[in-house]
């Protein structure tokens, strides 16, 4: 059963806007029994709607969520603050230094760096005021608003840092930490952490080339967040995918191309491979 916000079982997810009816979702599958899996498994897809509606009507309202005007307005305001602050501080810091022929390049580069610095500071401020909470996110809730502002920061700004290979891997470690990830000593990522604030990695661990870790569930109209915890001395293989609510013990290895699905618990020293990932030794 989904652990939900404040450790409670989440039982409601969707609202049908035109009928103004809240659907109640009940688990029809309590837990996996596969070895290596918890019985308390995060699996929003395991919840079947209990509705006084014919099933075709239920399907009608399963739509992707839309980012509303309010989070867009908040994000745009913050973006404007970051832009003006970066231009002003670049002019103030570098404007009077004679760079000769390189003046234009230096000023533009300085402004871009300052822009990302201000953006990260504002992003952290947003998360400080309204931290992301694990659990299912209701339609129209405060959590949805916060998630959408957070999401806009990545969609518009930070993916240009985290999803391109422009930034060197050793520097990416500090960018992920600045974006809220917990990375232990000597842990590096050659892949992408899509949700740094919900990702924890111990010491001496490596996220392989092009691996992807994400802590959000976006499945049709379902939206939920759950942490990923990776211990120390862990190897996440190249191109592996680690889904939300996954816990990987110290010294474990996830193979190249494995897909570690929601709610998986990998014990210390275990090796997992395949799609979906299963223990191989």
Ligand X SMILES: CC(C)(COP(=O)(O)OP(=O)(O)OC[C@H]1O[C@@H](n2cnc3c(N)ncnc32)[C@H](O)[C@@H]1OP(=O)(O)O)[C@@H](O)C(=O)NCCC(=O)NCCS
For residues 204 and 188, give the distance between their C-alpha atoms in angstroms, rounded to a whole number. Answer: 8
146 Cβ contact list (under 8 Å, min separation 6): 126, 130, 132
Compose the 166-205 pattern: x for residues touching ligand X by CB under 6 A, - for all others.
------------------------x---------------
- H helices of 44-102, where? 55-60, 69-94
User: For residues 202-221, which are near ligand X according to CB under 6 A?
Assistant: 206, 208-209
Compose the 139-158 pattern: x for residues touching ligand X by CB under 6 A, - for all others.
--------------------
**161 or 206: whose CB is closer to ligand X?**
206
User: Minimum distance from CB of 237 to ligand X (Å)?
Assistant: 3
**10 or 260: whose CB is closer to ligand X?**
260
Q: Which two tokens stand for residue 72?
A: 């867009």
Q: Which two tokens stand for residue 152?
A: 């806009």
Instruction: Name which position in 46, 175, 230, 255 contacts ligand X (CB under 6 A).
Output: 255
With contacts defined by CB under 6 A, name the span among 20-28, 126-134, 220-228, 266-274 that binds ligand X.
266-274
Annotate 219-273 with DSSP letters as a single string: ETTEEEE--EEE-SS-EEPTT-EE-SSEEE-TT-EE-TT-EE-TTBEE-TT-EEE
Q: What is the DSSP letter of 280?
A: -
Q: Is 274 in the site for ligand X (CB under 6 A)?
A: yes
Q: Which stretches of the chain bind ligand X, using CB under 6 A?
A: 190, 206, 208-209, 235, 237-238, 253, 255-257, 271, 273-274, 280
């Amino acid at each position: 059963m989904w652990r939900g916000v404040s450790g409670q079982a989440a039982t409601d997810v969707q609202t049908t806007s035109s009928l103004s009816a809240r659907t109640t979702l009940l688990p029809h599958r309590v837990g996996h029994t596969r070895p290596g899996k918890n019985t308390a498994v995060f699996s929003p897809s395991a919840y079947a709607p209990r509705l006084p509606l014919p099933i075709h009507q239920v399907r009608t309202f399963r739509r992707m969520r839309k980012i509303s005007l309010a989070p867009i307005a908040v994000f745009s305001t913050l973006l404007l603050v970051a832009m003006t602050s970066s231009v002003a501080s670049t002019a103030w810091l570098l404007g009077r230094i004679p760079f000769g022929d390189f003046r234009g390049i230096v000023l533009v580069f300085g402004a871009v760096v300052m822009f990302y610095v201000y953006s990260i500071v504002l992003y952290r401020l947003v998360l400080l005021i309204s931290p992301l909470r694990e659990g299912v996110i209701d339609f129209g809730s405060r959590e949805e608003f916060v998630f959408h502002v957070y999401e806009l920061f990545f969609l518009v700004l930070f993916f240009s840092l985290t999803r391109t290979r422009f930034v060197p891997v050793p520097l990416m470690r500090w960018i992920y930490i600045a974006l809220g990830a917990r990375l232990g000593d000597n842990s590096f990522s050659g892949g992408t952490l899509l949700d740094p604030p919900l990702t924890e990695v111990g010491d001496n661990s490596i996220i392989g080339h092009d691996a992807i870790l994400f802590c959000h569930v976006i499945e049709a109209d379902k939206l939920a967040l759950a942490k990923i915890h990776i211990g120390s001395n862990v190897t996440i293989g190249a191109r592996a995918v680690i889904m939300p609510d996954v816990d990987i013990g110290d010294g474990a290895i996830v193979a190249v191309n494995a897909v570690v699905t929601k709610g998986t618990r990998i014990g210390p020293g275990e090796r997992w491979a395949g799609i979906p990932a299963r223990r191989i030794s």
